Amino acid sequence: MIDEFIVNALIAGVLVAAIAGPLGCFMVWRKMAYFGDTISHSALMGVALGIAFDSENPIIMIATCSAVAIMLLFLQRDRRFSSDTLLGILAHGTLSIGMIVISMMDHFRTDMMYYLVGDILAISERNIYTIAGVVGITAVCLFFIWRDLLSLTVHEDLAHTEGVKVSRIKIIYMLLIAFLVAVALKVIGVLLITALMIIPAAAARTISKTPLQMIMFSSIGGIAAVISGIAASSQWDVPTGPAIVLCATLLFLIGRFNIFKKA
Amino acid sequence: MGDNTSPLLRLENVCKSYHKNLVLENISFTVNRGETVTLIGPNGAGKSTLMKISLGILEASSGEVHRDKSISIGYMPQKVMIDEVLPLSVRDFLYLRPKTSYDDVAKALETVRLTRLADQPVQSASGGEMQRILLARAILGKPDLLVLDEPVQGIDIMGQQEIYGLIAKIRDETGCGVLMISHDLHLVMASTNQVLCLNRHICCSGSPEFVQRNPEYHAMMGRPMEGMAIYTHNHGLEHDHEYHHGHDHD
């Protein structure tokens, strides 16, 4: 008999991992891992605003993350600042806002640790519905844009000439990440959500021959990491988020060093 | 497909400036079906910028760009570096072109004679092979207009001849228009109808023979006339070839 909170954790984790890997593949291909970090740091501002408005509505988080993504697109128009500089500014700017807002609320004392590494064992049934909704929408959107997104990842001008709506696809992709980060925060936390996107994608690279294979394997690898991470966490009573990330890292190392390859 | 007689591309008094710096001044030209227009000019002359404006990738600061909306365009960008982190075969790279089938891809690879590379990672292609792969991508989707940014970059002299020959053959077979950038007037003479010498503005333009005799061209390229003689001597063989096929455009 498995406890209900473990079942909830498994469902939420598997849902998030199933789509985090594919989104992470594009992040790896587009060399924008830091973008995931920025969005997740800004999610902490979303947490703070949620507390300030005394609301648990996921819309606040989604709106905050999306606003930061759009802000980035706007700032990128000035070519004097490279993307990674802008990402650093936004990441730490929003993080600081979040921490100041939280510190100003005297009645609120909570362990920040939950937001940093997630609190997957406290996932409620309502959380699962929200996550399932967002993951479903993300999967559908990604299904429709993935070829265009891949094309512009390879070469933007070429994609543009061939009729791909480059800016539109880029905005959609960034918003998909913002949505996912917003709902995944409770599952894996600010510090580790990027890991769940990047590491399964990198692990998948070691065994993939086509982009589609890499997308599929990253999804499978992410799910495997979540299941084994939760199992390890309940077995040895270690924090769940880090356990999941560690399992993903093991997968990457196995792939990277061909540990199971026959001689 | 648009009207068969109207120009595929027409630029009128196009200017482009970056931070109040004028990089292109009053550029006007047209590209018609079945015709090759070659842009030639020194580094920093604005050739690639002009190409991107023609394609709608960049906006002109002033002037007009008329591009028939119904035509299909094949573009060959200057440099394409694909990171190793993306597992992509040559076939899948070509298949990225929207509305293509794997059959079309196979035919395009055959045209550029790279069928043997189809399953190889696109990153493993050499410089010259990559140029031919890009050409294959450009001719997928049966373009009405081919826009080629230095199609022979990084290719040895024999390979250059081959690529230019291939482009002319595709143009003659499909009747598409070609707009391309080249460094070398001699190599493209045989297959070009019109040459535009660009150095922020159009210094001179006309048939390749006319441009070759034009002092503006030599001044622009920074080569003295007599220097050309040595250069010509080196590739004397190719000249026989050129005269047989020379288009007279005057």
ipTM confidence score: 0.83
A194 or A106: which leads in pLDDT: A194
CA distance B146 to chain A (A): 11
CB atoms within 10 A of CB B174: 15
In angstroms, rounded to a whole number, what is the distance separating the alpha carbons of residues B216 and B205? 10
- Residues of chain B in contact with residue A28, where contact means CB-CB under 8 angstroms, are 85
Could you tell me the pTM of the whole model? 0.84
**Alpha carbon of A119 to those of A42, A158, A242: distances in Å?**
18, 44, 11
Per-residue pLDDT, A111: 67
* Residue in chain A lying closest to B119 (CA): A209
Structure tokens at B162: 């081959």
Low-confidence ranges of chain B (pLDDT < 70): 1-4, 222-250
- Residues of chain A in contact with residue B86, where contact means CB-CB under 8 angstroms, are 29, 153-154, 211
Under the banding of pLDDT at 50, 70 and 90, the label for residue A34 is: confident
The single-letter DSSP state of residue B72 is -
Is the pLDDT at A29 greater than 50? The verdict is yes
- Residues of chain B in contact with residue A161, where contact means CB-CB under 8 angstroms, are 55-57, 73, 75, 147
A157 touches chain B (CB under 8 A): yes
Write the residue in B75, B82, B96 that is nearest to A161 by C-beta.
Answer: B75
Per-residue pLDDT, B224: 54
CA distance B77 to chain A (A): 7
In tens, the pLDDT along A165-224 reads 998 999 999 889 988 988 888 888 888 889 999 999 999 999 999 999 999 999 999 999
Structure tokens at A41: 């740091």
Q: For chain B, give the number of residues.
A: 250
CA distance A32 to chain B (A): 13
**Alpha carbon of A105 to those of A43, A108, B137: distances in Å?**
18, 6, 59
User: Helices (H) and strands (E) in chain A — how many of each?
Assistant: 11, 0
Average pLDDT over residues A30-50: 85
Contact at CB, A28 and B77, closer than 8 angstroms: no
**Residues whose CB falls within 8 Å of the CB of residue A146, separated by 6 or more in sequence, listed in order:** A22, A215
